Structure 1
Amino acid sequence: MTMISVVIPARNEAENIGSLIDEIDAACAAHGNYEVIVVDDGSDDGTDRVVRDRMTGRSNLRLIRHDRSGGQSAAIHSGVRAARGEIVCTLDGDGQNPPAEIPRLFAPLLAPGSDGVGLVAGQRVGRQDTFSRRMASKIANGIRSRLLRDGTRDTGCGLKAFRRDAFLALPYFDHMHRYLPALFNRDGWKIVHVDVGHRPRGAGRSKYSNLQRALVGIVDMVGVMWLIRRRKRSRPTEIAVEN
């Protein structure tokens, strides 16, 4: 049975991470062969202690800790590199992404004839965010979709599933997690979209403001457009000669 690695990037989520791990266990129990990797992105609220307490007697729960905060993309990248599974699922550490959706994400990657599918991207419906954040996200997603033509209405959703080797072949840069559909498409992979639920944050607050997201997004958008235009277009074929 294919192993699934669930990667959770988390920064200062001590109040949310314990119950989130329990929900992931409940969601993945039917599959059986899975692991959960929490990447503590330089937390100072004891997030790592909560995870350590739950690791006792559980060989499939792992903890990776950054010595300083590197951001969500850095945390995801560290988790994927450490993952033992062929398929990786991600979700945010704040509890807003329902873990019950995880099986619906990895299913298209395990289905017969799915060899060409590289990424399954969750698309939030009924978002439980403030009006200003929803509007900022809608505008940013509209601009991104028009410029990158990635066919995705919501790249900010933390619920995603993808092939580990395909992800690690992508060029790494900070904030790349928001451009995964465009990057996977750049490398010739098919993208599947799945509508998923969304919940209010359990505790704490968001780590980024709308202004911060917008300013960073402008630079990243230009960079991704450059990467798409400079992609490798030739396809190698090895020629064998009978001796």
Structure 2
Amino acid sequence: MDLSIVIPAKNEKDNIEPLINEIIAAISGIYDFEIIYVDDGSDDGTFEELLRHKQQGKAFIKVLKHQYSVGQSTAICTGVKQASGRWVVTMDADGQNDPRDIPLMVQQAAGQAADSHFCIAGYRKNRKDTAWYRLQSKVANKIRSKILNDGTPDTGCGLKVFPKHTFLSLPYFDHMHRFIPALVNRMQGKVIVVEVNHRNRHAGVSKYNMLGRLGVGIVDMFGVMWLQKRYKQPVVIEQQ
């Protein structure tokens, strides 16, 4: 199998069908793929909507559910562990990531050595969020880039491609999905930035707010910096 598309979802019932249809239209016939949805404790019928699609004969859809919400990073981790594809694609469930960007990103992944660590990171150059939200993100990205030197202008973009073994080699912690490029760099992996489309939400509302993101972001950023300083890359010489 080529691709495992991992989508964490919390209360995104009305966005399920449009996104599934767009993924099929974008990559069906190009790649052998599976879609792994992880329902992170939704209470709006998201899980039931996912099961409805699976029961319609869409065998390429896997549906996992957390009993209660444990956050986006943990939901991504749950999905990646179940992935069968050569590459893992992560994307948000709200429809703001465009599935038509997946082939270009996978082309970049195909150019990397199979056993190497890498991440193809989306860059939402022209964001469709409010001016206030864009300002927050711009400031946060500049601070993060200065402190972590991850070479990524938009680490918060949910659209990424990487090998399963790369993700499972990263240190796990809550909110770690926002620091994947920095964590890949930490172990001398390669990060390739690809400009991607960004769209308005299909339906629903954002699950994040400024104060919540700021509070955890500062703590996590310094935690990642601590991890960077304490990582050691061994050079193993095989004994003959």
Q: How far off its partner does 1:23 sit?
A: 0.7
Taking the aligned partners of 1:176 and 1:113, their CA distance within structure 2 comes to: 25
Map Cα deviations across residues 157-186 of structure 1 (whole Å, 9 max, x no partner). Answer: 011000101110111000001101110011
Question: Gaps spanning 5+ residues in structure 2: where?
Answer: none
Residue type of the alignment partner of 1:162: F
Taking the aligned partners of 2:100 and 2:164, their CA distance within structure 1 comes to: 21
Matched, 1:107 2:112: no
TM-score (norm 1): 0.95
Residue type of the alignment partner of 1:209: N
Residue type of the alignment partner of 2:239: I
Taking the aligned partners of 2:166 and 2:237, their CA distance within structure 1 comes to: 19
Percent identity, please: 49
Counterparts of 1:221-232 in structure 2 under 5 Å?
A: 221-232=221-232
Residue of structure 1 in register with 2:54 after alignment: 55
CA shift in 2, pair 1:112/1:193, >3 Å: closer
Residue of structure 2 in register with 1:41 after alignment: 40
Over the aligned positions, Cα root-mean-square deviation in angstroms equals 1.3
Taking the aligned partners of 1:201 and 1:18, their CA distance within structure 2 comes to: 13
Residue of structure 1 in register with 2:130 after alignment: 130
Report how many aligned residue pairs link the two structures: 239
Residue type of the alignment partner of 1:49: E
Contact 1:8-1:90 within 8 A present in 2 as well = yes
TM-score (norm 2): 0.96
Taking the aligned partners of 1:204 and 1:59, their CA distance within structure 2 comes to: 27
Map Cα deviations across residues 68-117 of structure 1 (whole Å, 9 max, x no partner). Answer: 11111111110000111120001100000011111111211112657646
SS at match of 1:213: helix
Contact 1:109-1:115 within 8 A present in 2 as well = no
Map Cα deviations across residues 99-139 of structure 1 (whole Å, 9 max, x no partner). Answer: 11111112111126576461000000210101111111100
Taking the aligned partners of 1:234 and 1:126, their CA distance within structure 2 comes to: 40
Taking the aligned partners of 1:99 and 1:186, their CA distance within structure 2 comes to: 28
Contact 1:89-1:161 within 8 A present in 2 as well = yes
SS at match of 1:157: coil
Counterparts of 1:64-213 in structure 2 under 5 Å?
A: 64-111=64-111, 116=116, 118-213=118-213
CA shift in 2, pair 1:164/1:112, >3 Å: closer
Taking the aligned partners of 1:183 and 1:40, their CA distance within structure 2 comes to: 25
Q: How far off its partner does 1:234 sit?
A: 2.2
